[in-house]
Amino acid sequence: MREVSGRLALSPAAPELTERLREIPAEGPNAARRFTQNEEFFFELDRPFDVLPIPIHHPVEKLEPSPHYLDAVGNLIDQTASSLAGALHGLDCAFDPMHASWVFFFGLLAEAERPTLLLVTVDMAYRPLEHEVITRGSNDIAPRYRTNRIYLTVDFVPLRDAETTDGTLRVGMERSISQTWIGETGRGYVTQGIWIDRELNRFFTRLFLPQGARIYPWFPLHARYRCLCHSPLDISASARQNALDTLHDARTIILPRMDEILEELKAQPFSDELPIFQEMRRQVTPHEEWSRIRMRPYLNAQNMKEYVVEAK
């Protein structure tokens, strides 16, 4: 997967992986959905599975994945796809040498007026505090480890255009967010950039959240790739149309006022009391289904706070 100036090129990593993905049924059991205290989303499976060793680094000029990577992805699909409610049904997978431990499952949801890219990114990186080592690794190869967690992000990304040439899907993302960098803080070696992505995520999500509902750390509407994207909790194949409708409705309300929103959040942090937020909130119909979701906090084995997604 390669991104250049708002355009993505996604090439299938290997024919054998494509065939495996085609065999995944559209429906299936749904594993427990959870978030870490750092807002990372993951599935917790009933049974652990092994992740095969993969190279820690990959030459950025080499676009083809290594045999170790292909074996690990194939093993991941075989052991986990049946527990993910058909989330990978109909998708393909791509490799990005810049992110050697990530797997990009993708699919074009083509509609004449609103083509959309579904991108499911799975992180296979070894996490020392969580994973059980089966075979030790080295400076070049990650260990073989056992886990019952799948860390992933799910994005429905709006597109300007899309075409497939020579087996590669090439898309132009609809980048409606002009700039989120607003400055720097600190001095010398501890200088850090300041972005307003988090403020945008809060604005977009709370705009459609019913009064009094609490769904942190989930931000279903958020800024990514300089686009207004949607990340649903239900990622089954049967729920894709509902996710598309949610994204389309949000874009209809937000995009005409995007420049005003950006200027307001560059001047001050998000608050429910912002005049533009209150004005827009009166114009939208809240997503009542979001109020039926409960994020129950608990402490994991390392005494770190996590959240399990429950229905009220």
- Please indicate, yes or no, whether residues 197 and 302 belong to a single structural domain of this protein: no
Q: Helix or strand or coil: residue 246?
A: helix
| Range from 25-29, 93-97, 157-161, 301-305 carrying the lowest mean pLDDT | 25-29
pLDDT surpassing 60 at residue 307:
yes
Count up the domains in the chain and report the number.
2
- Please indicate, yes or no, whether residues 214 and 84 belong to a single structural domain of this protein: no
Residue 93 and residue 13 in contact, taking contact as beta carbons nearer than 8 Å: yes
Round to whole Å and give the CA distance between 52 and 135.
Answer: 9
pLDDT for position 186: 54
- Please indicate, yes or no, whether residues 33 and 122 belong to a single structural domain of this protein: yes
- Please indicate, yes or no, whether residues 22 and 132 belong to a single structural domain of this protein: yes
Encode pLDDT of 72-112 as tens digits. Answer: 999 999 999 888 878 899 999 999 999 999 999 999 997 76
- Percent pLDDT > 90 in the chain is 77
Q: Helix or strand or coil: residue 14?
A: coil
- Please indicate, yes or no, whether residues 123 and 246 belong to a single structural domain of this protein: no
**E-assigned strands of 11-101?**
32-36, 41-51, 92-94
- Please indicate, yes or no, whether residues 45 and 153 belong to a single structural domain of this protein: yes
More confident call, 308 vs 57: 308
- Please indicate, yes or no, whether residues 7 and 95 belong to a single structural domain of this protein: yes
Residues 6+ apart with CB under 8 A from 51: 72, 75, 76, 124, 126, 131, 144, 145, 146, 147
- Please indicate, yes or no, whether residues 57 and 38 belong to a single structural domain of this protein: yes
Q: What domain range includes position 243?
A: 181-288
Q: Burial level of 42, CB count in 10 A (0-12/13-18/19+)?
A: buried
- Please indicate, yes or no, whether residues 155 and 186 belong to a single structural domain of this protein: no
pLDDT surpassing 70 at residue 184:
no
- Please indicate, yes or no, whether residues 145 and 283 belong to a single structural domain of this protein: no
pLDDT for position 111: 72
Dmax (CA) of the chain: 58
Which residues pair with residue 144 across a beta bridge? 135
- Please indicate, yes or no, whether residues 127 and 190 belong to a single structural domain of this protein: no
Choose among 305, 287, 289: nearest CA to 297: 305
**pTM for the whole thing?**
0.92
- Please indicate, yes or no, whether residues 168 and 215 belong to a single structural domain of this protein: no
